[in-house]
Amino acid sequence: MSITYLKKATLTSKSDANDVSDIVQNILDDIEAGGDAAALSYAARFDQYKGNVILTKEEIEAAIALVPDRLKRDIDFAHDNVKRFAEAQKTTLQDIEVEIIPGLVAGQKSIPVHTAGCYIPGGRYSHIASAIMTVTTARVAGCERIIACSPPRPEDGVAPAIVYAAYKSGADTIMAMGGVQGVAAMTFGLFDLPKANILVGPGNQFVAEAKRILFGRVGIDMIAGPTDSLILADKTADPKVIAVDLVSQAEHGYNSPVWLVTDSQMIAEEVMKHVPDLIDDLPELNRDNAAAAWRDYAEVILCDTKEEMARTSDRYAPEHLTVQAENLDWWRNRLTCYGSLFLGEETTVSYGDKASGTNHVLPTSGAASYTGGLSVHKYMKIVTWQQSTKEASKRIGEATARISRLEGMEGHARAADVRLAKYFPDEVFDLTVG
């Protein structure tokens, strides 16, 4: 078995990774030292916005009034789907307790973090769906405070549709601040806000780097790179549909990889024939992104068998994985590395990106080999507890004392010794090693 590259990428997601770390670190240091005033200074420089950072109730209501009713209904529909799926996910987290040995009971408890900071990209695009995905799941998880933060436009502020989506999804606070300064404000608890316990949501390379630097002081959903998508297709697939789906994901950005893996040379050649025309038909900004992504990052890979296709896909571990092939059950059971899986022509990554219910904040750059995407679980702390009777502590205490001494941790051993001596004063224990 072998694979053949009919189109090979000339660049990878790391090819143009600018060293933004120093820039971001300096901004974070300035804002941590300078507080609100420093954050406002960076906001004036980068956002060029002079309005309120924390939207008032009246400003939220005014923004919502600008959103057309049909768009509100679409946002409501998407929110309901994401909420329904998140609620179902939450039921998989069960508090448990089990008797380990007679008298020793241990348990697991799920506790939501207190404050979630949800970053919602603005800029060239209004990422309405990101507001729905991040805020809704935080609300379902049970976070007490949810801060939605989005870059304002210089004159208009945060896009009204983002305001409505964040409000509808359950945000307690909506911030008009973008980039590193927005991330810093949520992390450091500026503008009289509680410090965020976790930061979630997509962003540009500066936002991603800020989250990476701050990780540890605050939780994050993941370190994200450019979005990527892979399609697995056999001879039964429709090359026009495949081409449209590839282009739809390439428009995310000039460095957004898209990959086609197939065992049909005819399908591969037809798709490559369709793509240029589809790109040319896009609006200018979308066209430029998709053209660069297709030229520099896209790949078309021809395999001998479907098993080789599956192995290739698992090796790439794509953020989005689409299967347009026969025997979908086989693919669902076989594939192991992906952020989100789209089975059959009847669904598409665009559905998941916007409205179908699964979360669109997903692992990129191969991270799907070890992690999944954003879910209610990301906002939950899985903690453990234990409680013991005095009798049960006898055997535990003996084992703990001897293991601790073997490890050279005498203080640990004595924590067991003191309990054995107190609870069983008339017994003699051999707590030495050997």
d(CA 26, CA 382): 34
Are 263 and 235 in contact by the 8 Å Cβ rule? The answer is: yes
Of the candidates 259, 279, 417, 278, the residue with the CA atom closest to the CA atom of residue 338: 259
Give the closest residue to 300 by CA, choosing from 1, 43, 3, 2.
Answer: 3
Nearest CA to 376 out of 83, 172, 76, 79 is that of 83
Measured distance CA(200)–CA(186) in Å, rounded = 11
CA 180 to chain centre: 18
Please give the backbone phi and psi of residue 13, each rounded to the nearest 5 degrees, phi first. Answer: -65, -15
Collect all residues with Cβ–Cβ distance below 8 Å to 142 and sequence separation of at least 6. Answer: 112, 379
Nearest C-alpha neighbor of 184 from the set 214, 221, 224: 214
- Contact assessment for residue 119 and residue 207, using Cβ atoms and an 8 Å cutoff: yes
Pairing assessment for the beta strands 299-303 and 96-101 based on DSSP bridges = unpaired
Which stretches of 345-401 are assigned E, i.e. beta strand? 380-388
Pairing of strands 299-303, 3-7: antiparallel
Catalytic: 251? no
Tokens of 277: 């025309």
Residue of 274, 320, 407, 410 with catalytic role = 320
- Among residues 303, 293, 258, the alpha carbon closest in space to that of 5 is found at 303
Residues paired with 303 in a beta bridge: 3
Structure tokens at 218: 């605050």
As given in the structure block, the two tokens for residue 110 are 């799920």
Per DSSP (E only), the strands in 130-255 are 145-150, 173-176, 198-200, 219-220, 229-233
Q: Which of 209, 252, 274, 319 is catalytic?
A: 319
DSSP letter for 152, please.
P
Do the bridges between strand 115-119 and strand 145-150 make them parallel or antiparallel, or are there none, so unpaired?
parallel
Task: From 327, 349, 331, select the one nearest 339 (Cα to Cα).
Answer: 349
Q: Which residues contact 261 (CB under 8 A, 6 or more apart)?
A: 230, 231, 232, 233, 301, 303, 309, 312, 313
Q: Rounded distance, CA 340 to CA 349, Å?
A: 9
Q: Is 320 a catalytic residue?
A: yes
Q: Annotated catalytic sites, by residue?
A: 319-320
